């Protein structure tokens, strides 16, 4: 770590409520020599609304991040401190900045986070769906084929999924999600921390019941597979047949299978055994 270099501060900014900008973030933004922002106009408005002095901005967005790296590194190596912000929430989570942070690490330049608002964390904390484990997927793609590839790796994983989607593409996206992921509980969170904040729980198979007009910033949460879907049927059948060879009673066998899969109930497994094992004992 270079002792003469400046620091790249990764600063979380409000999702909507200005009261969520921490005192430490305020101090860092006004004390930085430059602020790297996705949209310098929006960043200027944020500081003005918070009553903060602007130290000056440099744009850093998805289309210019690679070109902006040399200048940012030069400034940091000269001992200047830079603050990296996104349009809202925590930078790098579906926003630019990863390349800059990685370059700083390679150059031995200190990178330090200022934690704060984060849309994925806020949505998970208030949606009522199992928060751990979860996967944050960023923005959903536009094309149906890309959406299928987007959801496919998580079809058999016991995870909650969090992602962003545009309001006019929600129904098309959820139709593909249902096709790939199957029946699951879900929640739509919009305008978090703002006046019209709303959490709408729904079942993925009933996505068509969502209101047509959903203005604002939207985060979607899809829960893990339902218990009976978490273990592929062919895998469950194989385990049942393996345990049945031990010659134990049917209910004891069901308990042993339940312990191995770690999901569902012994009663559900026992019911499935009745279709697989001839004359399971009724105990």
pLDDT at 229 over 50: no
E strands in the chain: 7-11, 34-37, 57-59, 82-85, 110-114, 134-139, 160-164, 185-190, 198-203, 218-222
- What pLDDT is attached to residue 212? 83
pLDDT at 256 over 90: no
Question: What are the pLDDT digits (tens) for 71-119?
Answer: 999 999 999 999 999 999 999 999 999 999 999 999 999 999 999 999 9
pLDDT at 258 over 70: yes
Return the higher-pLDDT residue of 50 and 244.
Answer: 50
Question: What are the pLDDT digits (tens) for 124-167?
Answer: 999 999 998 999 999 999 999 999 999 999 988 889 999 999 99
Place of tokens 């790296």: 69
Flag the least confident range among 22-36, 216-230, 250-264.
250-264
**At 236, is the pLDDT very low, low, confident or very high (cuts 50, 70, 90)?**
confident
Give the whole-angstrom CA distance, residue 91 versus residue 31. 19
- What pLDDT is attached to residue 13? 97
CA distances from residue 153 to 20, 136, 171, 262 in whole angstroms, order as listed = 35, 13, 21, 21
Sheet strands side by side (includes 160-164): 134-139, 160-164, 218-222, 185-190, 198-203
- What pLDDT is attached to residue 38? 94
Give the whole-angstrom CA distance, residue 210 versus residue 233. 31
pLDDT at 213 over 90: no
pTM of the predicted protein model? 0.77
Q: What is the DSSP string of 177-219?
A: HHHHH-S-EEEEEESTTSTT-EEEEEEGGGGGGS-S---S-EE
* 73: enclosing H helix or E strand: helix 65-77
């Amino acid at each position: 770590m270079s002792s003469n270099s400046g620091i790249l501060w990764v600063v979380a900014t409000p999702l909507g409520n200005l009261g969520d900008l921490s005192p430490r973030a305020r101090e860092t933004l006004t004390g930085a020599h430059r602020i790297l922002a996705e949209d310098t106009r929006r960043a200027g408005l944020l500081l003005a609304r918070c009553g903060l002095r602007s130290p000056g901005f440099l744009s850093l967005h998805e289309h210019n991040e690679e070109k902006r790296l040399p200048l940012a590194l030069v400034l940091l190596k000269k001992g200047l401190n830079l603050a990296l912000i996104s349009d809202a929430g925590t930078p790098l989570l579906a926003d630019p900045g990863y390349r800059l942070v990685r370059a700083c690490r390679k150059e031995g330049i200190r990178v330090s986070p200022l934690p704060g608002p984060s849309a994925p964390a806020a949505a998970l904390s208030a949606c009522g769906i199992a928060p751990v484990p979860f996967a944050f997927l960023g923005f959903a793609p536009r094309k149906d084929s890309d959406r299928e590839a987007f959801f496919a790796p998580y079809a058999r994983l016991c995870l909650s999924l969090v992602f962003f989607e545009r309001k006019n593409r929600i129904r098309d996206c959820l139709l593909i999600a249902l096709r790939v992921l199957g029946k699951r509980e879900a929640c739509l969170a919009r305008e978090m921390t703002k006046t019209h904040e709303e959490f709408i729980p729904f079942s993925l198979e009933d996505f068509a019941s969502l209101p047509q007009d959903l203005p604002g910033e939207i985060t979607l949460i899809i829960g893990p597979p339902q218990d009976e879907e978490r273990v592929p049927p062919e895998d469950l059948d194989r385990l049942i047949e393996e345990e049945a060879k031990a010659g134990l009673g049917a209910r004891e066998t069901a308990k042993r299978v339940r312990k191995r899969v770690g999901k569902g109930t012994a009663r559900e497994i026992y019911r499935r055994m009745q279709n697989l094992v001839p004359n399971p004992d009724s105990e």
